Structure 1
Amino acid sequence: MTRSRRHFLRAVGAAGGVGAMTSLTGCGADSGQSTDGASRTNGTAPETSTGESTTTETTTATPAPEQAVDRRLLMEGTDDETPLVRIDAPEAGPTVVLVGGLHGDEVGGWRAATAATEWTIDAGSLVVIPKAAIRAVEARQRMHPEWGNANRMFPLDAEPRSPLGTALWEAVEASDPDYVVDLHSSKGIYSESAYYGQHVFRTEGLAAATTETIEYLNAEVVPDSRPAYEFTQAPIDVDYEMLVRKANHELGAETALFEVTEKNLDTETQVAWTTAYVEKLLDVLGVRAMDRSEE
């Protein structure tokens, strides 16, 4: 399908508010003068004024534009009411949709996504649905209590299979994404079991970015003492009715499904590794630089 060029900048003042603008004014004082304003050299008397006025110029720096943040609720007023946060940078760039919590017991994904709702980005847009199946998240269980597996509600070329699926899909579709990233965890390790942990499934358009991202994870995040925990990747080649497949098929977005393992890995480490994946991927895509010591 032919995709229209992305509209990367959104109107300032959209629902949810915009960060305050700050103006910095330069100081015109000259620290090299004495307090009486006169030059003193070898005891000579100060020179008298010629009557000419001296003007001290002040300059006002133009503040950098700040990002716009829109916070709203999907399925507002229902038991499935869940937040969506859209962050628009002042610079043009791709739109990334980040989803966590389709499976409520996969804590690393929804906690990393929740942290991302507070990030500052450099270009493009970041749309985050941190707790997609919030009733499953609150119960800390894999399945939605009413509709079952929330990541099997997205058949291709058909309507989603539940009101929650419809709300999530409409939100993703309205974001006009270049990339959709879904965060999960698994009980085992992909390279040694039937589970999917320590693996990234992705579409072809994210192959290079995923390679760079997992090379970083394996070199800088996964300890040398745990080589079995190195991340791998492969194309999305399953027929499950997953959000990332529908987004790629119907919207033309490049997509990825990230899986960290739960095997002998405490929750905080799962969150840290998942967060590192998101940070590096956004860095590679040009949305958010990793070196952000000011945050």
Structure 2
Amino acid sequence: MTATRRTFLTAAGCAGLLGLGVTATTGESETTVSRDSYTIRSGTDQETTVFVTSASESGPTVMVVGGVHGNENGGYTAAEKVAQWDIARGTLVTIPKANAAAVEEDSRIADGGVDLNRQFPTGEEPETELARAIWGVVERFQPDTVIDLHESVGIYDGDMVGGVGQAIFSSWDDRAFSDARAAADYLNDNYVSRDGYDFTVDPFSSSSNEPTGLLTHKAARDTDAVAFLVEATSDDTALDTRVQWLTKITQQLVEEDVLTSSDGGSGGDGGDDGGDDGSDGNDGGDDGDNEQNEAPVARIRTTPSDTTGGALERGDTVTLDASPSSDGDGEIVEYMWDTDGDGSFEESGETAEMTLSTCGRYRVSLQVTDDKGATATDEAILSVK
């Protein structure tokens, strides 16, 4: 199926599927994904869309929320990307712009000047119409995992005074803390290259301590959900970087729940590749007289060839070439590139070019698809000093 342990998710082929009762069968598995959507607070300035993606294979339900604070652009942009993901099993419920009026105003708050993320008291009814509508989504779908994506100006150092960025706050249970720790380690190892910007983890504060009335706190305490509040820092950090961080953390937190099927296959074009044994993701059952498809091999060749360790300078253009990729029992019919690291393969073609205007470490991904629908991925690092 795919060639790497952790793959990048793609929204390719999904943009036109949003709506009622639309289904899409993935190219690399028998999973059928249905997409649905509906609005809450219809007819008001708070009207916003709830997106529901359901896989044919039963499994957990994950709810991802963004835009609770309208000026935290990275949170709702990442949630919009998550809403487009294919999944392998279960249900993915997404509210990208929970506080649509505040998003429209590019303001932290709206709704009469109250902070939406203080309107969810534990053990009580939410305190505003919008909060009650959002909680109604929780009650309707009863998610096993709830993730709320946010941003902060500062970086968390344990006391919340200077900010809470670069932190994953989790509900009080071993699984949640372990998953948060693993996600933070993954991000720090692969996507965070700046000193002092590593992600840290911490459990939620107790119900008697400030801040109170948070959506994730209520989800964890009033339901059986595992909950995470994820904060990226906007301090001297580009929007696309914040979106990448939040998207990749979400991917790590939900991979075992909805991105990987019970037989180890992945949903659509993302999720776990089920190992490095070169299989195409099938369960190994008897296919009659049909031979099992051999997965393709993805390979990236760059010009210049040396792109790591700060070998590149600002303004350099790198050519990305997928022609070394191969398929032993067929042909490659599609080449897709993720050149901005946002988790979506948005550019097609056997070659692509990137002009690097800023210093830093860029991760580029290639996905190839063969004539039987199997895929493989490869990655390249471009480092600008």
In the alignment, is residue 227 of structure 1 matched against residue 169 of structure 2? no
The equivalent of 2:263 in structure 1 is none
Specify whether residues 96 and 118 from structure 1 end up closer, same or farther in structure 2 by C-alpha distance, changes over 3 A only: same
Check conservation: 2:153, 2:234, Cα contact below 8 A: yes
| The 10-residue stretch of structure 1 (231-240 or 81-90) with the greater mean CA deviation from structure 2 | 231-240
Once the 2 structures are TM-superposed, how far is the Cα of residue 216 of structure 1 from its aligned partner?
A: 0.4
Check conservation: 1:97, 1:180, Cα contact below 8 A: yes
Check conservation: 1:99, 1:130, Cα contact below 8 A: yes
In the alignment, is residue 171 of structure 1 matched against residue 137 of structure 2? yes
The equivalent of 2:233 in structure 1 is 261
SS at match of 1:190: coil
Specify whether residues 231 and 159 from structure 1 end up closer, same or farther in structure 2 by C-alpha distance, changes over 3 A only: same
SS at match of 2:186: helix
Q: Percent identity?
A: 35
AA partner of residue 83 (structure 2): T
Cα distance in structure 2, aligned partners of 1:285 and 1:250: 21
Deviations along 1:5-43, one digit per CA (max 9) or x if unpaired, are xxxxxxxxxx82131569x9xxxxxxxxxxxxxxxxxxx
Under a length normalisation based on structure 2, what TM-score does the superposition of the two structures give?
0.59
In the alignment, is residue 19 of structure 1 matched against residue 23 of structure 2? yes
Deviations along 1:55-78, one digit per CA (max 9) or x if unpaired, are xxxxxxxx8241111111111111
AA partner of residue 185 (structure 2): E
SS at match of 2:43: coil
**Structure having the higher Rg:** 1
Check conservation: 2:31, 2:88, Cα contact below 8 A: no
Please list every run of at least 4 consecutive aligned residues from structure 1 whose deviation after the TM superposition is greater than 2 angstroms: 191-194, 284-288, 290-295
Deviations along 1:170-223, one digit per CA (max 9) or x if unpaired, are 111111110110000000100286210000110123111111111100000101
Gaps of 5+ in 2: 1-18, 261-270, 274-344, 346-366, 370-374, 376-385
| The 10-residue stretch of structure 1 (204-213 or 162-171) with the greater mean CA deviation from structure 2 | 204-213
In the alignment, is residue 152 of structure 1 matched against residue 118 of structure 2? yes
Cα distance in structure 2, aligned partners of 1:121 and 1:287: 5
AA partner of residue 157 (structure 2): S
Specify whether residues 253 and 84 from structure 1 end up closer, same or farther in structure 2 by C-alpha distance, changes over 3 A only: same
Under a length normalisation based on structure 1, what TM-score does the superposition of the two structures give?
0.76
Once the 2 structures are TM-superposed, how far is the Cα of residue 285 of structure 1 from its aligned partner?
A: 3.5
Deviations along 1:146-192, one digit per CA (max 9) or x if unpaired, are 25101011111211111101100011111111011000000010028
Decide which structure has greater helix share: 1
SS at match of 2:231: strand
Specify whether residues 16 and 286 from structure 1 end up closer, same or farther in structure 2 by C-alpha distance, changes over 3 A only: closer
The equivalent of 2:92 in structure 1 is 126
Match of 1:87 among 50, 53, 56: 53
AA partner of residue 269 (structure 1): T
Deviations along 1:269-290, one digit per CA (max 9) or x if unpaired, are 1111111111222224453516
In the alignment, is residue 110 of structure 1 matched against residue 82 of structure 2? no
Q: Pairwise mapping of residues 42-61 of structure 1 onto structure 2 (< 5 A)?
A: none
